[in-house]
Structure 1
């Protein structure tokens, strides 16, 4: 089961430095935590929504003794998965992972903060890849991994082999039927000539 460290390792394996990956994971989690603590709702399109929800006071039971306990009202964090996340989880492992979209920005997370005296260098505008939200009832496509691609290729080859074998068998049947028909025609023709 991966934790923060393993997630950072996986990000680093996709092209970022280890320090930048750790800084990125920490920064994202800190921002989500701060927003939830402030009562804000955090929506990551395609991934899901984090929100702070109030839980009313209630009477609970001590599992050891069965004694009734008063549980105070509290605020809890809730997560609702997005459509893309649900589809990916339902599809199972094997989807391809792309490279980290913007390694320069990940590398910059571990850099020291600049003072006002030093203006930050201008960065060129970067294109952000957007995923279209699927229409209700539409099939979602998930990129296949190398194993799935090899399996699909083998299946396609198998289907082609079967189609070729079927064509050959049909051609043999037609040739045999034609030969039998020709033989029968010749035989019936010979019999007539003998009678004359």
Structure 2
């Protein structure tokens, strides 16, 4: 059962530093918590929606003694899973996730060291001659390729989720049509039996 630390470790295993991954997890959770505390609704497309809901005062019971007790009104956080999340959970474990696409910005989220132990700032690096810029261009192309691969992976999963939803709807329609046909046959059989019974009664 993974917690924040384990999730950060898994992100780090995809290419980020452990400090940056932990800071990213904390930053996302802080933003969601702050928004809910302010009464805002947080929607993460495909994943789900977080919202703060008011709960009225009520009378509860002590689970150990059974004694009635008054529970004050409060506000609780609720989560409603999105279509993509439901499809992924229903499908079970999928393909392994790829590398973190935007590693540079993720590294920038690393929490700063306490002021008392911050090391002196390193001198600015000497600009490299223009002839050595090919390494930077290569790194940029690699980052772009990773971003495009990540985007393609997201699109592939979204398409798979749409296909799964479409198949469910088709199956549901088929089942409904089959049930209606069975009901109609049953009704016709019942009607036929009633007519047959009346015919016998007249002959007598």
TM bucket (normalised to shorter chain) is 0.5 to 0.7
Larger fraction in helix = 2
CA gap 1:135/1:37 in 2 versus in 1, 3 angstroms: farther
TM-score (norm 1): 0.59
Separation (CA, whole Å) in 1 of partners of 2:167 and 2:106: 33
Deviations 1:45-86 (A, max 9, x none): 111100001111000011121111000010000000111111
2:54–2:76: 8 Å Cα contact kept in structure 1? Answer: yes
How many equivalent residue pairs?
A: 128
Separation (CA, whole Å) in 1 of partners of 2:91 and 2:79: 20
Separation (CA, whole Å) in 2 of partners of 1:100 and 1:62: 48
User: How far has the Cα of 1:21 moved from its partner?
Assistant: 0.1
| Residue 80 (1) aligns with residue 80 (2) | yes
Query: Moved runs in structure 1, 4+ residues, more than 6 A?
Result: none
CA gap 1:107/1:137 in 2 versus in 1, 3 angstroms: closer
Partner of 2:166: 138
CA gap 1:84/1:57 in 2 versus in 1, 3 angstroms: same
Larger radius of gyration: 1
TM-score (norm 2): 0.57
Q: What secondary structure, in the 3-state scheme, does the structure 1 residue paired with 2:93 have?
A: coil
Consecutive unaligned residues of structure 2, counting only runs of 5 or more, are: 113-139, 169-204
Consecutive unaligned residues of structure 1, counting only runs of 5 or more, are: 113-123, 141-196
User: How far has the Cα of 1:105 moved from its partner?
Assistant: 1.0
User: How far has the Cα of 1:111 moved from its partner?
Assistant: 6.3
Aligned alpha-carbon RMSD (Å)? 2.4
Structural mapping, 1:1-196, within 5 Å: 1-110=1-110, 129=151, 131=155, 132=158, 134=162, 137-139=165-167
